[in-house]
């Protein structure tokens, strides 16, 4: 039996600076289960990282799940433990056979081979690898595989800002460590936010984001070659009257931490989206789960059936991606709202109310079903009793009307 030769384009050491990711039950966690690495994930997962706090720009606490202050998020958002990006990537890669990944190969382009059946991969070193039956573009936002299937290009979401890190926060900046807690701490003002998140190594990753024109960095004339003064100037200009605790998250950050066909696409290469619903990696892992399932389902007949399996993957992927894109766009609106954190808190309140109403409806429905079953049971018994009373032939037995022979049950 021959298997398709598959190229999956990506790289182990990218995004090392990245923070932490919450993995959802029905998507990323399912992918880990099928990959046989769920136990390893549990060993590194941080359920305590799920806790959310929201402050307003003046420093007032609007909600704090760790202290039971204000509203809680709906239970549909439970069971999403955090894991550091670097650990997640390591556990996935370590589960593969040693020689299944070739490192240091920067892809420049993919071309169909002259045989029109396979693909050639061109690398920056000049090397060309040939004979791939299937190419999976897992190469992120600026995918070099994507142009084979679409002209679509990423567009600017309108949100930009700084990305910093506070190492060993509890020891070096205990007040900021306490403010962040074990999970996520959002300070949200009109159309801006300082978003801090605890990482597994004790660091706090922090983003100071705002709605801004794409050219804001150039327009601001802030000298980003001097990071320390740039942070001060940036905060003064864009977050001037904000709570000092939120601004200190950026000001006291680490000095060096300011950073700037037969083709299938997965993750950001397929559907780059903003990070505000925390779904990107979940969507990427869900894609990989479904793509793997679809490939495996035709492994014995891939010559004939792989194109259809890929097409099915594509169709389903777009349905999922659209839903996730809607979520992240909605959360973008809530994170950077003219009424700051109040909008997010109200959103959770409404979601809670909907959840409570749905639960009440569920209880009412199940009561109704029980009552109906009891009526039917009683009706059956009554019919049996009536029948035993009139054994003589020719006597008409009343036809049951509805449940319980018209008996009224309270
Ligand atoms: C600030 C921020 C916070 C986020 N927070 C969350 C969150 O909390 N939860 C969540 O679910 N998602 C979050 N996301 C989104 C998430 O990071 C992405 O959706 C996810 O990483 C997508 O995975 P991917 O494998 O598709 O792409 P990537 O993680 O970008 O991986 C692509 C890989 O391809 C490699 N590559 C690129 N070009 C080439 C080439 N030419 N040749 C060879 N290799 C190449 C790269 O080096 C990289 O390793 C966040 C994103 C950002 C920016």
- 227 is a domain residue: no
How many domains in the chain? Answer: 1
Give the span between the Cα atoms of 344 and 342, in whole angstroms: 5
Has residue 16 been placed in a domain?
yes
Could you tell me which residue, 265 or 234, shows the higher pLDDT? Answer: 234
Using the structure block, give the residue that is written with the tokens 């509203």: 71
Report how far residue 40's alpha carbon sits from residue 25's, in angstroms, rounded to the nearest whole number: 15
Q: Is residue 35 part of a domain?
A: yes
Q: Using one digit for the tens of pLDDT, what is the confidence trace for 7-28?
A: 777 665 554 556 789 999 999 9
| pLDDT score of 160 | 86
Higher-confidence position of 98 and 82: 82
Element (H, E) at 23: none
| Residue 305 domain flag | yes
pLDDT tens per residue across span 159-192? 888 989 999 999 999 999 999 999 999 999 999 9
Within a domain: 364: no
Closest by CA position to 313, among listed 157, 152, 149: 149
| 299 domain residue, yes or no | yes
Ligand 1: centre distance to CA 12 (Å): 11
Structure-derived torsion over alpha carbons of residues 265, 268, 273, 275, reported in degrees to the nearest 10: 150
Confidence band, pLDDT 50/70/90 cuts, at residue 364: very high
In a domain, 319, yes or no: yes
For position 12, what pLDDT does the model report?
A: 59
- Nearest-CA residue for ligand 1 atom 52 is 275
Boundaries of domain holding 124 = 1-46+81-149+261-338
Distance CA 320, CA 7 (A): 24
Q: What is the mean pLDDT of the chain?
A: 86
How far apart CA 248 and CA 259 sit, in angstroms, is 18
Residue 23 has which token pair? 């993995």
- Residue nearest ligand 1's atom 26 by CA: 267
Mean pLDDT of 380-404: 45
CA distance 409 to 153: 64
Determine the Cα–Cα distance for residues 16 and 81; give it in Å rounded to an integer. Answer: 20
Pocket test for ligand 1, best of 102, 183, 275 (most atoms within 8 A of CB): 275
Beta-bridged to residue 194, according to DSSP, are 187, 208
Q: What is the domain-level CATH number for residue 92?
A: 3.50.50.60
Task: List the one residue out of 202, 284, 192, 201 whose CA is nearest residue 239.
Answer: 192
Decide: 45 in ligand 1 pocket, CB within 6 A. no
What lies within 8 Å, CB to CB, of 319 at 6+ separation is: none
Is the shortest distance between the CB of 275 and ligand 1 below 6 Å? yes
* Residue with the two structure tokens 């605890």: 198
Are 166 and 183 within 8 A, CB to CB? no
Other beta carbons within 10 angstroms of residue 382's beta carbon come to 15
3-state DSSP: the chain helix, strand, coil percent, rounded to 5? 45, 20, 40
Q: Which of 90, 161, 284 to mutate to test the pocket of ligand 1 (most atoms within 8 A of CB)?
A: 284
pLDDT computed for residue 291 by the predictor: 95
Q: In angstroms, what is the span from residue 268 Cα to ligand 1's centroid? A: 6
In a domain, 303, yes or no: yes
Name the token pair of 340: 């700051």
Percent of the chain with pLDDT over 70: 89
With a 6 A CB cut-off, is 23 part of the ligand 1 pocket? no
- Of all protein residues, whose CA lies closest to atom 3 belonging to ligand 1? 275
Predicted pLDDT of residue 386: 57
Q: What is the pLDDT of residue 403?
A: 29
User: What is the rounded CA–CA span in Å between residue 295 and residue 125?
Assistant: 30
Q: Summarize pLDDT for 198-232 with one digit per residue, the tens.
A: 998 899 999 999 998 878 887 888 887 778 899 99
| Ligand 1 touching residue 21 (CB < 6 A) | yes
């Amino acid at each position: 039996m021959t298997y398709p030769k598959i190229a999956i384009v990506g790289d182990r050491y990218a995004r090392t600076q990245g923070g932490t990711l919450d993995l959802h039950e029905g998507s990323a966690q399912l992918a880990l289960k099928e990959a046989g690495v769920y136990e390893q994930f549990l060993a590194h997962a941080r359920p305590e990282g799920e806790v959310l706090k929201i402050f307003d720009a003046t420093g007032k606490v609007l909600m704090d799940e760790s202290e039971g202050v204000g509203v809680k998020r709906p239970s549909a958002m439970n069971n999403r433990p955090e894991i550091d990006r670097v650990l997640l990537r390591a556990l996935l890669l370590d589960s593969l056979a040693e020689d299944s990944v070739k490192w240091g190969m920067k892809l420049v382009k993919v071309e169909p081979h002259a045989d029109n059946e396979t693909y050639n991969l061109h690398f920056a070193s000049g090397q060309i690898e040939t004979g791939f039956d299937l190419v999976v573009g897992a190469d992120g936002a600026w995918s070099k595989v994507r142009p084979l299937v679409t002209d679509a290009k990423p567009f600017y979401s309108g949100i930009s800002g700084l990305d910093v890190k506070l190492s060993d926060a509890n020891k070096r900046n205990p007040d900021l460590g306490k403010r962040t807690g074990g999970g996520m701490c959002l300070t949200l003002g009109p159309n801006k936010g300082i978003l801090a998140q605890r990482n597994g190594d004790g660091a706090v990753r922090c983003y100071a984001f705002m709605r801004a024109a794409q050219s804001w960095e150039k327009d601001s004339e802030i000298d980003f070659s001097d990071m320390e003064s740039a942070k001060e100037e940036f905060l003064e200009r864009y977050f001037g009257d904000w709570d000092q605790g939120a601004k200190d998250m950026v000001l006291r950050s680490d000095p060096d931490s300011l950073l700037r066909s037969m083709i299938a696409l997965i993750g950001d290469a397929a559907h780059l989206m903003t990070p505000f619903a925390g779904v990107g990696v979940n969507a990427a892992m869900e894609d990989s789960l479904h793509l793997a399932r679809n490939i495996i389902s035709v492994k014995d007949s891939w010559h004939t059936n792989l194109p259809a399996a890929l097409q099915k993957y594509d169709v389903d992927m777009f349905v999922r991606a659209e839903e996730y894109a809607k979520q992240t766009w909605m959360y973008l609106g809530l994170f950077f709202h003219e009424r700051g954190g109040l909008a997010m808190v109200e959103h959770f309140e409404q979601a809670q109310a909907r959840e409570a109403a749905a639960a009440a409806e569920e209880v009412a429905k199940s009561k109704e079903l029980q009552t109906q079953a009891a009526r039917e049971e009683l009706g059956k018994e009554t019919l049996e009793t009536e029948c035993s009373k009139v054994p003589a032939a020719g006597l008409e037995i009343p036809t049951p009307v509805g449940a319980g022979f018209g008996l009224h049950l309270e």
